[in-house]
Structure 1
Amino acid sequence: MTRAAVDGSDDICRAPARTQLALLETGVLSAAELLAEHLARIDAVNGQVNAVVSIDRELAVEAARASDRRRADGSPRKALEGLPTAFKDLEEAAGLRTTWGSPRFAHHVSAHDSDVVARIRAAGAVPMGKTNTPEFGTGSHTQNDVFGVTRNPYDTSRSAGGSSGGAAAALAAGMLPIADGSDLGGSLRNPASFCNVVGFRPTPGLVPNSPGRDLWNSMPVKGPMARTVRDAALLLAVLAGPSATSPLSSAVDGSRFAAVAETSPDQGMLRGLRVAWSPTVGGLDIDPRVRSVLEQRAVAELRAAGAIVVERDLVEELEGVDEAFRILRAHGYAASFRDVLASSREVLSPELIANTEWGLDLTAADLARAEDLRMRAFQRFAALFAEIDVVAAPAAAVPPFPIEERWVREIDGVAQSDYLQWMRAAWRFTPLGGASMSLPCGFTDDGLPVGLQLVTAPRNDELLLRVAAAFEERVPAWREPPRVLHAAAQGTR
């Protein structure tokens, strides 16, 4: 393999992670050289996008050299050996500044690694810094008072989504080949949809959540982000597995996901696949531009591939989910942030304050009702998945919105009551415990990305990855480079 043989492109930084690993394995590139390519890309575009923060070049260079030494010594090959990455700024990473997007922790340097960071390091990746996030991951627009706002590489006047917006934007612009993210209300899926990358929310427990203040909560999960589905599977293979410090973690062997990454997509996965297409996710307001792209690209391609696609509104299945989610989310905020609210209210975002206060006002009766609503919705979804294999739906109700807005106030003429309301296309699936993914599907007429959300029953993560990889083979929308790279190329001429 040569440097030019980069998946039909000469842009090494936007090549799949698997391709970059092959370039390292064959000696076409060293880890130090691959790092230099990515640092040059960061220098070229990060000033416009603001996706990667707390960059530590000295740490990255030393890690790349250590990777090259391991390769030269003939050490057993690690899964991510030599791949540059940066950790979401909600993850503790020893020796790196970790702020959680909060002025209260603006100068905090971690003394230890979270499980996610430890596993990525152990797999041979080369850490460069952190990816930007809203304060404590609250909201699907990546802005905070420490680093500022992250812009969308496809249109820098638009949001990159959140809370994993820094990771999504960095992937889209080729600043990183892989990235970790987390998801409660769509924090992996919304930014993936906005930035034309893959965001995979696995079954709760597949990836450990420790450390944290709310480890028994099954709604927040951590998962992989990448430009392609198979790269997401590559990272999931590293992240998955039990942890003694994460009580809900499962003992699933990550090698099954490595097999997805290593195997060519099987178009036969789509023939006869039973798909419930839900264009409004239970009657939500969906921007017509989003629905048009999904029906013309996703639904049409699934049917052309032999899938059995039936439209289903999911109104009955999703009854009570909104109330359950809001109550359980607020309870989680009270558990995690009550002490921060008491000591640092004056520097917290209004969204974080409102969620935590609502959680502190909840009663035992509120929690009992939420758990009952969630249980009944889960039972209805279990019955649905006895009839189908996959739900297909919008990953986000809108294309990327203007950067100056904190959240979407209106969708197709319908006012949104608060910053959570517009995100329901993603978070309505959160309480049900299944696996879900946003993957690139296409673009609006003005060039804004639209993501397709695929959802499976709990513990069907491998099926979801294989179906998504087969779809991606037919609809390789991820290949479209963002406009910020065109501008950067013109600036160097």
Structure 2
Amino acid sequence: MPSEITPPPPPPPPPVLPAPLALDAVALSQAIHRRELSCVELMQATLGHIERLNPQVNAIVAALEPEGLLAQARERDEQLGRGQSLGVLHGFPQAPKDIAPAAGLITTRGSPLFKGQRTRTDAQVFARMRDAGAVFIGRTNSPEFGLGGHTYNSVYGATGGAFDPTRSAGGSSGGAAAAVALHLLPVADGSDMMGSLRTPAAFNHVFGFRPSFGCVPQGPADEVFFQQFGVSGPMARNVPDLGLLLSVQAGFDARQPLTRQQDASVYAGPLGRDFKGTRIGWLGDLGGHLATEPGVLPLCEQALRHFEAVGCTVEPVLPQADFERVWQAWLDLRSFTVAGNYALLYDDPLRRAQLKPEAVWEIERGLALTGPQLFRASAVRSAWYQALRALFERFDYLVLPSAQVFPFELAQHWPAQVGGRAMDTYHRWMEVVIAATMGGLPALSVPAGLGGPQGRSPVGLQIIGPAQADWAVLQMGHAYDQAGGFSKVRSPLLVG
């Protein structure tokens, strides 16, 4: 780690934004409820801003007609006029990720097999957002079935990053991340199995939170016990806004027996806390195990000083584990999950021909697995959790990069080489995110700065907490941002 921190760059010019869209989500909700801003005014500003900027990044797809959206916004204003608020998202334009069903909206999951399909029901997390007053304006783009860390598909095309539209927005919540970074949405939902909230957050200089499994319902699903990797969560431009959306998303759902009984309102509460004496373990590139693009680690190491600025101590550390064995267990458990979800599509030769190669590869791996193989993989996962738990006896948080690479070219499906090493799978370049997923731990991706060849490519850090320490992770992320000022940095597309 460097002995000195590079002074931060001077603050950029103020972003060129319609006045309502310059507000953070917390302030926006307050302005709406105080009747200082109408839902119609917010919707008009949002639709105009999307019309101007969305063509550059392709973040929002399957947009609904403005007339109907403005009518819904007027209805929200009329409700407030009668003293009726649906919740903290009252009147918020939202575009649920195109990976789960949303009533009345097109749900393709990024696949040509479902092009134009309009669904009749809401995923549980979408229902909660709608019940809290959100107005759904369309979908955010996602790769086919959410597979891969780059948002592209044959239905809608690729999504470019908010800081450089010629480069990837990450995935699979790439549309959500770019939309939030560009103020097309005040906050956005996402989902995360292999970094799908964290990688795009890093690539777009925003905050993406993978909650503990069971914090937020993940359904509807045919199987509600084994498949514990995928979670839903929030994305925002700062941590208080993140907590606002999480307070809507989180909570027990009887249809999902592994969800937690909790008071979700805590996530919208004050985040301030004294972190003097807090211990942070820096995992880095896992002692050289992870291939990283030159420049990524130095930026992340420099950002560690912001933890020290709020009173934390930072110490390099490594879990006691065979990282390659953990990776192989991850491959088996992931393929088992993907095959369970999509084997019926594979079984039909006509539909199989329309699946992208990575999906076919995952399904075929999953179908070839035996019961004993899956048990061994689960045992390796359990041992990995215990290795992390041992670290949490010494440290309060663990930190490592959110991505091993800078955002790559939009036309590239995935990085075939990283740091001079060949990647042996389509997602090996994302191995850094499986630490939290395999451990079932909460992980927040926070911005770490801009770098790369032109000095404008975002990099992120993951803050990982102990089991079910979701609130504590948000508090740490907020303190880090208060010290570093990352949430004040805006995309050059917004700066006049």
Q: In 1, Cα distance between the equivalents of 2:143 and 2:86?
A: 36
Aligned match for 2:134, one of 120, 125, 139: 125
User: Within 5 Å, which residues of 2 pair with 1:205-284?
Assistant: 205-216=214-225, 217-259=227-269, 263=270, 265-266=272-273, 268-269=274-275, 271-281=276-286, 283-284=289-290
Looking at structure 1, the residues matched to 211 and 228 of structure 2 have their Cα atoms a distance apart, in angstroms, of 11
How big is each residue's C-alpha offset from its partner over 1:383-413, in whole Å with a ceiling of 9 and x where there is no partner? 1111111001100001101111100111111
Where do residues 348-367 of structure 1 align in structure 2 (5 Å cutoff)?
348-367=355-374
Q: Does 1:455 pair with 2:458? A: no
Give the alignment partner of residue 37 of structure 1, picking from 45, 63, 69. 45
Partner of 2:177: 168
Is the 1:156–1:484 Cα contact (8 Å) retained in structure 2?
A: no
Shift of 1:82: 1.5
Q: Which moved more, 1:97-106 or 1:9-18?
A: 9-18
> How many Å separate the matches in 2 of 1:125 and 1:317?
45
Q: Secondary structure at the residue paired with 2:167?
A: strand
Q: Which residue of 1 aligns with 2:4?
A: none
TM-score normalized by the length of structure 1:
0.93
Q: Give per-residue Cα distances to partners, 1:180-226, cap 9 Å, x unaligned.
A: 10011100000000001111000001111111234221111111111
Determine the C-alpha separation between the residues in 1 that align with 2:172 and 2:286.
Answer: 21
* Aligned twin of 2:73: 64
1:140 aligns with 2:149: yes
Structure 2 residue 296 is matched with structure 1 residue 290: yes
Q: Secondary structure at the match of 1:371?
A: helix
Pick one of 435, 442, 445 that aligns with 2:449: 442
Other structure's SS at 1:462 match? helix
Gaps of 5+ in 2: 1-12
**1:336 aligned residue:** 341
Query: Could you tell me which residue of structure 2 aligns to residue 179 of structure 1?
Result: 188
SS at match of 2:234: strand
Question: Are positions 1:384 and 2:391 aligned together?
Answer: yes
Cα separation, partners in 2 of 1:141 and 1:9, compared to 1, 3 Å: closer
8 Å CA contact retained: 2:99, 2:145: yes
Report the counterpart of residue 429 of structure 1 in structure 2: 436
Cross-structure match for 1:27: 35
Matches within 5 A, 1:444-483: 444=451, 446-483=455-492
Amino acid at match of 1:288: P
Q: Is 2:97 the counterpart of 1:92?
A: no
Give the letter aligned to residue 289 of structure 1: G
Change (3 A) 1:466 1:365: same
- CA deviations on 1:39-59 (whole Å, 9 max, x unpaired) are 111100111100001111344
In the alignment of these two chains, the number of paired residues is 475
> Could you give the per-residue CA deviations for residues 17-60 of structure 1, whole angstroms, max 9, x where no partner exists?
11212222333310110111111111001111000011113442
The residue that corresponds to 1:311 in the other structure is: 316
Whole-Å separation in 1 of the counterparts to 2:22 and 2:376: 47
User: How far 1:314 moved relative to its partner?
Assistant: 3.0
SS at match of 1:192: helix
How far apart, in 2, do the equivalents of 1:317 and 1:430 lie? 16
2:87 to 54, 59, 78: 78
3-state SS of paired residue (1:443): strand
- Paired residue secondary structure (1:382): helix
Distance 1:10 1:48 in 2: 16
> Are the structure 2 counterparts of residues 326 and 14 from structure 1 closer, same or farther at C-alpha, using a change threshold of 3 Å?
farther
Partner letter of residue 31 of structure 1? C
User: Which one of the candidate residues 46, 50, 53 is aligned to 2:58?
Assistant: 50
Deviation at 1:246, TM superposition (A): 1.7
Instruction: Report the CA distance between 1:452 and its aligned residue.
Output: 1.1
2:21, 2:46 within 8 Å by CA — same for their partners in 1? yes
Task: Give 4+ residue runs of structure 1 displaced > 6 Å after superposition.
Answer: 7-10
**Aligned residue in 1 for 2:353:** 346
Shift of the 463–245 alpha-carbon distance from structure 1 to 2, 3 Å rule, reads same
Percentage of identical aligned residues: 37
State the secondary structure of the residue aligned to 1:151.
coil
Give the letter aligned to residue 232 of structure 1. Answer: L
What residue number does 1:410 align with? Answer: 417
CA distance in 2: counterparts of 1:406 and 1:139, whole angstroms = 9
Structure 2 residue matching 1:438: 3-state secondary structure: strand
> How far off its partner does 1:318 sit?
4.6
Return 444-453 or 477-486, whichever deviates more.
477-486
2:436 partner letter: F
Aligned pair in 2 of structure 1 residues 110, 167: CA closer, same or farther (>3 Å)? same
Letter of the 1:181 partner, please give it: G
> What residue in structure 2 maps to residue 396 of structure 1?
403
Q: Secondary structure in 1 aligned to 2:130?
A: helix
For residues 277 and 403 of structure 2, the distance between their equivalents in structure 1, rounded to whole angstroms, comes to 27
The change in CA–CA distance for 1:466 and 1:264 in structure 2 (over 3 A counts) is: closer
Partner of 1:4: none
Alignment match, 2:10: none
Distance change >3 Å, CA 52–CA 224, structure 1 → 2 = same
Once the 2 structures are TM-superposed, how far is the Cα of residue 277 of structure 1 from its aligned partner? 0.7
Aligned partners of 1:238 and 1:96: how far apart in 2? Answer: 21
SS in 1 for 2:101: coil
Supply the distance in 1 between the matched residues of 2:437 and 2:283 (Cα, whole angstroms): 16
DSSP 3-state at the match of 2:429: helix
For residue 154 of structure 1, the aligned residue among 134, 156, 163 is 163
* More displaced 10-residue stretch of structure 1: 312-321 or 440-449: 312-321
Q: Give the secondary-structure state (helix, strand or coil) at the position aligned to 2:404.
A: coil
Alpha-carbon deviation of 1:440? 1.4
Secondary structure of the residue aligned to 1:200 is strand
Does the 8 Å CA contact 1:318/1:428 hold for their aligned counterparts?
no
The verdict on how the C-alpha distance between 1:275 and 1:127 changes in structure 2, with shifts beyond 3 A counting, is same
Q: 1:81 deviation in Å?
A: 1.2
| TM-fit CA distance, 1:10 | 6.7
User: What RMSD over aligned residues (CA atoms) do the two structures have, in Å?
Assistant: 1.7
Tell which deviates more after alignment, 444-453 or 282-291. 282-291
